[in-house]
Chains A and B, each alone.
Chain A
Amino acid sequence: MAHSPVPNEDLGKSGGTARLKIFRGDAEGGEEVDYEIPLVEGMVILDAVLGIQAEQAPDLAVRWNCKAAHCGSCSAEINGKPALLCKSRVDEYDGDIHVGPMRAFPVIKDLVSDVSWNYEVSKGITPFQSDEQAPFTMYEEDVERLYEPKKCIECFMCQDVCHVLRTHHKHAEFAGPRFFVRNQWLEMHPMDNQDRLHDLKEDNGLGYCNITKCCTEVCPVGIKITDNSIIPLKERVADEYYDPAKWLMRKIRGR
């Protein structure tokens, strides 16, 4: 007898039904299709989507990896709002559940958008660099505030909800909240020796953000993007470029 308990398929079945309207289509367009699947206790939208995929729609496209809200792969939109499918419980929604792809990026197919633009932006940010040789001596109080921006799982939902990208399509001039979060820890790391303020102002379009806090609201790991990343960076840029004394110094130094 070397048998292990194989979980019973009927475990947790509630007798109820989850009803989803899932966008099926591609870059050319598409429409919502109705699906039904037995409701299981604690079921998240991703469970439902994967169940539908295995039994009803084998070619239904969805991204996912860890299924534990650690990796940020399964971002999509539920009832028009960005959400991690693995973290959104079916029983949190009343009535129809509309599931579609993130709309600030080009749609590839079904629930999958082309997010590659984000990686291009990331490549353009000056990476961490230090004059010091590790091991560094740094105390908790020096780095405490860096833990928050470091939690980012790159789900890109803040990018999806940001109206500068979503409505105004400023992808060419604006890096988006995710990359202000990255710039924040880089700029605040006590051992980093680079200056990114010029890039933030000129290339990353920090000034476009008018602090509506939409990004903070959707962040699945609770980063206060507007208050703790964007505003401090705006302040630093203002100090550097709009302070009259500094302006004069730059004139004198010729840069």
Chain B
Amino acid sequence: MVELQRDGYQNGSRERYEVREHDVLIIGAGGAGLRAAVSATQRGLSVGIVTKSLLGKAHTVMAEGGMAAALGNVDPDDSWRQHFMDTMKSGKFINNWRMAEIHAKESPDRVYELEQWGALFNRTPEGKISQRPFGGHTYRRLAHVGDRTGLELIRTMQEKALATDAKVYMETTVTKLLKNNGRVVGALAYTRESGKFVHFKAKAVVMATGGWGRIFKVTSNSWEGTGDGVVLSYDAGADLVDMEMMQFHPTGMVWPPGVRGLLVTEGVRGEGGLLRNSEGKRYMENYDPQKMELSTRDVVARANYTEVQEGRGSEHGGVYLDITHLGYEGIMKKLPTMYEQFKNLADIDISREPMEVFPTVHYTMGGVKVDPETCESSVPGLFAAGEVAGGLHGANRLGGNSLSDLLVFGRRAGEGAAEYVQQSTHSTEIEEQELLTEIGRVLEPLEKRGDGESPYLIQQELQVAMMEHANLMRDGDSLQEGLGKILALKDRLPRVSVPGSRLFNPGWHTAQDVRYLVQISEIILRTALERKERRGAQWRLDYDGPDEELGGINFIVSKDEQGEVGIERREIPPMPEHLAKLVEEEKAKA
């Protein structure tokens, strides 16, 4: 690995940055990024992994319920075809059907691969990996270990990646993707600890930064979910898809105020948890009498919301989720994390009393548009996988499909990037001036010495505006009003300023984040205004139902020549015969 120190010159002050060179640079160290790293190192390439947090703390760790894969261990009738069908149905058929096909076919291999690498799942009496039911899955399909499946996945991948030659740059934030001759050839970043800049030179970049739930006040996402990757890709010219589609998880914690939005795993409903309103009624029979509590997330979230809105909510403005039938022993076996979470944080013993829950922002279906085979974006040299990529989940993601998504497409992105690197001999050089200009931009909020707008305040205002105007029920006028508020915040961004030094300064870090949050919010509001219908997570109250024509359309976002948000309606190509046949058969069943 080449390691250099260089001096630059900018604004009268000498500015140093370090240069690090790799074949493949992976941005993000969740399940997708780590899986991509393993693939690329297996091909003998030099890999750098950049992560905003410590290794192993990525949001993957918050996935609780399990990883969907048609193993057929408990329901032998399950098949990739049915998994494909369930995924498409839940996504209201605007999914990328090829991604859904690949995902359904390859998930079982990724589960067994995890087991090969030391991951441990709960077992069936026959000694196989056990599978639990989840909303919208026809069969019991989720490989799991209690309610901490994400922890098992991230730890396994972390230990696997640590055993390779990949170099991990912890607590490092990327501020810009760098291009040479139309290709992405690296990134500029700074280390959070010291505030020192690093120029990463790489022949290919894999974006695996996760989602952007932090644009909402009530969210299950950690501080990291600020959508860096989607904006970095957009700024580099990449196409985005389905950006209007945000998933609200039906069950987040409600009380006390500090934990509002914290995830209550769908595993609770998977294990038989019942939803009731203040009148004690199992109201899901009014919304989806067949699947009841195990309907898809969009349906259950709207049901919970509606019950509260119509005055049948709990004391703190939620609904009741009851798992007491499992008893203390059963809960400690199947949902121990949930037990501890409620006991410690809310003084609630869930083996004796129901939980109060309300929808919480959870997941972003939209993201960087990628080629299903290689995960390459529309910009050469830039690949994307996991939550930051769009297409697989369409208008609504099925629970459990995220962990499998990470590994199936993380692997493909790693392979795709490796293939690309091995086939090309392009230069990764960047004009020094471009780096210095970017460093100058990033340092600006510090130079104002706290004499301007607080980034924390802008973030809070943005989160409230998005809650109010882009929530799980939307209408045109309100979206328009929200857009006005976000654009006003955009105008205030240049005035953001923070006190203190570059040494581990969260105020300065937040100043970087708010730029991403504002840009994503603008894109979401604009695309939500375009999709004039009710489909999955996009629920327009000013339209009656789904629109047949829009059912065949993805909205593609890219930066236009003026630097503004460009939106294109793109027709979804027809399915090949073997998939179309599956859809026909499914319709005949109904």
Residues of A within 8 A of B (CB): 1-7, 11-12, 26, 40-44, 47, 53-55, 58-73, 87, 89, 108-110, 112, 114-116, 119, 122-123, 127-128, 130, 133-140, 142-143, 146-147, 150-154, 185-186, 189, 192
A11 to B317, CA, bound (A): 11
Residue with the highest number of chain A CB atoms closer than 10 Å, among B120, B159, B337, B468: B120
Which of B61, B116, B168, B308 sits near A71, CB closer than 8 Å? B61
Could you list 30 A-B pairs, sorted by A, with CB under 8 Å? A2-B469, A2-B479, A3-B468, A5-B308, A42-B256, A44-B258, A58-B506, A63-B53, A65-B57, A65-B223, A66-B59, A66-B62, A68-B259, A68-B263, A70-B148, A70-B151, A71-B56, A72-B57, A112-B504, A114-B193, A123-B162, A127-B117, A127-B159, A135-B115, A135-B128, A137-B126, A139-B125, A139-B127, A147-B120, A154-B56
Given contacts A4-B473, A40-B258, contact A122 B162 (CB under 8 A): yes
Interface with A: B133-141, B339-347, B546-554, which one?
B339-347
Complex: how many Å from CA A26 to CA B505? 12
Chain A residues, Cβ within 8 Å of B460: 54
Compute how far the CA of A75 lies from the CA of B114 in the bound complex, rounded to whole angstroms.
28
The reply to whether the CB of B222 lies closer than 8 angstroms to some CB of chain A is yes
Whole-angstrom distance between the alpha carbons of A152 and B61 in the complex?
Answer: 12
Chain A residues, Cβ within 8 Å of B469: 2-3
Q: Is the CB of B454 within 8 A of A150?
A: no
* A127, B499: Cβ atoms closer than 8 Å: no
Measured as residues with beta carbon below 8 angstroms from the partner, the interface class of chain B is: 35 or more
Partner of A64, one of B193, B222, B468, B472: B222
Bound CA span A41–B115, Å:
43
Cβ–Cβ contact A68 & B472, under 8 A? no
Task: Please state if B504 and A61 are interface contacts (CB–CB under 8 Å).
Answer: yes
Report chain B residues within 8 Å CB of A112. 193, 504
Output the least CB separation between B461 and chain A (Å): 11
Report chain A residues within 8 Å CB of B148. 70, 151
Is there contact, CB below 8 Å, between B118 and A139? no
Asked if A69 contacts B62 (CB within 8 A), the reply is no
Tell me, yes or no, whether B170 is within 8 Å of chain A by CB. Answer: yes
Chain A min CB distance to B335 (Å) = 13
What residues on B are CB-neighbors of A154 within 8 Å? 56, 155
Is A6 in contact with B498, judged by CB distance below 8 angstroms?
A: no
Q: What chain B residues lie within 8 Å of A44 (beta carbons)?
A: 258, 345
Q: Check if B507 is an interface residue, CB within 8 A of chain A.
A: yes
B residues in contact with A68, CB < 8 Å: 62, 259, 262-263, 341, 345
* B566 CB–A CB distance under 8 Å: no
In the complex, the answer to whether B53 meets A65 with C-beta atoms within 8 Å is yes
Q: How far is the CB of A130 from chain B (nearest CB, A)?
A: 7
Residues of chain B with a CB closer than 8 A to A115's CB: 54
> Which residues of B are found within 8 Å of A54, using beta-carbon distances?
454, 456-457, 460
**Chain B residue with Cβ nearest A128:** B118
Main SS of chain A's interface residues?
Answer: loop
Chain B residues contacting A3 (CB-CB under 8 Å) are: 468-469, 471, 478
Is B507 within 8 A of A140, CB to CB? Answer: no
Are the C-beta atoms of B308 and A64 separated by less than 8 Å?
A: no
Q: Which residues of B contact A134 (CB under 8 A)?
A: 112-113, 115-116
Known: A71-B222, A128-B118, A140-B122. A109 touches B503 (CB 8 A): yes
Q: How far is the CA of A152 from the CA of B56 in the complex (A)?
A: 11
Which residue of A2, A4, A58 contacts B450 across the interface (Cβ within 8 Å)? Answer: A58
B residues near A135, Cβ cutoff 8 Å: 112, 115, 128-129
Residues of B within 8 A of A (CB): 53-57, 59, 61-62, 112-113, 115-118, 120, 122-123, 125-129, 145-146, 148, 151-152, 155, 159-160, 162-163, 168, 170, 193, 217-218, 222-224, 255-260, 262-263, 305, 308, 317, 337, 340-341, 344-347, 450, 454-457, 460, 464, 467-469, 471-475, 478-479, 498-501, 503-508, 510, 541
Count A/B pairs, Cβ under 8 Å. Answer: 208
Contact of B116 among A11, A122, A133 (CB under 8 A): A133
| Residues of chain A lying within 8 A (CB to CB) of residue B340 | 69
Given A2-B473, A6-B468, A58-B507: A130 touches B53 (CB 8 Å cut-off): no
* Residue among B223, B346, B471 making CB contact with A2, cutoff 8 Å: B471
Determine the distance from Cα of A108 to Cα of B128 in the docked complex, in whole angstroms: 46
* Measured CA separation A155–B347 after assembly (Å): 23
Task: List, in ascending order, chain A residues with CB within 8 A of B152's CB.
Answer: 150
B256 with A40: CB separation less than 8 A: yes
Interchain nearest-CB distance for A204 vs B (Å): 16
A73 to B472 Cα, complex, angstroms: 31
Q: How far is the CB of B66 from chain A (nearest CB, A)?
A: 15
Contacts A6-B468, A134-B112: A65 and B145 contacting too (C-beta < 8 A)? no
Q: In the complex, are the beta carbons of B504 and A128 less than 8 A apart? A: no
* Cβ-defined contact, B123 with A140, below 8 A: yes
Give the chain B neighbours of A152 by CB distance below 8 A: 155
Query: Nearest Cβ in chain B — how far from A46, in angstroms?
Result: 8
Nearest-neighbour CB distance to chain B for A180, whole angstroms, equals: 15
CB neighbours (8 Å) of A146 from chain B are 120
B402 to chain A, nearest CB (A): 15
- Do A137 and B128 have beta carbons less than 8 Å apart? yes
Chain A min CB distance to B220 (Å) = 9
| Closest residue of A by beta carbon distance from B221 | A66
Residue of chain B at shortest CB distance from A74: B57
Residue of A139, A142, A154 most packed against chain B (CB within 10 A): A154
Assembled-state Cα–Cα distance A204/B123 (Å): 32
> Do residues B218 and A59 form an inter-chain contact, with CB atoms below 8 A?
no
Of B224, B257, B501, B505, the residue contacting A12 (CB under 8 A) is B257
Q: Are B473 and A69 in contact (CB under 8 A)?
A: no
> What is the CA–CA distance of A144 and B231 in the complex, to the nearest angstrom?
44
- Which of B224, B450, B456 contacts A53 (CB under 8 A)? B456
Q: Which residues of A contact B479 (CB under 8 A)?
A: 2
**Given the known A-B contacts A7-B217, A64-B222, A70-B62, are A147 and B504 also in contact in the complex, defined by CB atoms under 8 Å?**
no
Contacts beyond the supplied A66-B59, A147-B120, A153-B151: 11 A-B pairs with Cβ under 8 Å: A2-B469, A3-B469, A4-B471, A41-B257, A55-B456, A58-B505, A64-B223, A65-B53, A119-B168, A134-B113, A152-B155
- Expressed in whole angstroms, the minimum distance between the Cβ of B429 and any Cβ of chain A is 31
What are the nearest 7 A-B pairs in CB distance?
A: A42-B256, A59-B500, A128-B118, A58-B507, A4-B471, A54-B456, A2-B475
Task: Tell me, rounded to whole Å, the shortest Cβ–Cβ distance linking B342 to chain A.
Answer: 11
Q: Are A136 and B115 in contact (CB under 8 A)?
A: yes
* B344 touching A42, Cβ below 8 Å: no
**A44–B170 CA distance with the chains assembled, in angstroms:** 27
Q: Which residue of B lies closest to A126 (CB)?
A: B163
> A69 contacts which chain B residues (CB < 8 A)?
340-341, 344
- A6–B506 touching, CB < 8 Å: no
- Cβ contact within 8 Å between B345 and A42: yes
> By the criterion CB–CB under 8 Å, are B344 and A6 in contact?
no
Whether the Cβ atoms of B117 and A128 lie closer than 8 Å is: yes
The answer to whether residues A59 and B507 also contact, given A7-B218, A69-B344 and a CB cut-off of 8 A, is yes
In the complex the two chains form, is A150's CB within 8 Å of B120's CB?
yes
Nearest-neighbour CB distance to chain A for B323, whole angstroms, equals: 18
**Contact present for B506 and A61 (CB under 8 Å):** yes
Query: Are A58 and B116 within 8 A (Cβ)?
Result: no
A112 CB → nearest B CB, Å: 6
CB distance from A225 to the nearest CB of B (A): 17
User: Using Cβ atoms and an 8 Å threshold, which residues of chain A touch B122?
Assistant: 140
Q: Which residue of A lies closest to B305 (CB)?
A: A4
Distance in angstroms from B60 CB to nearest chain A CB is 10
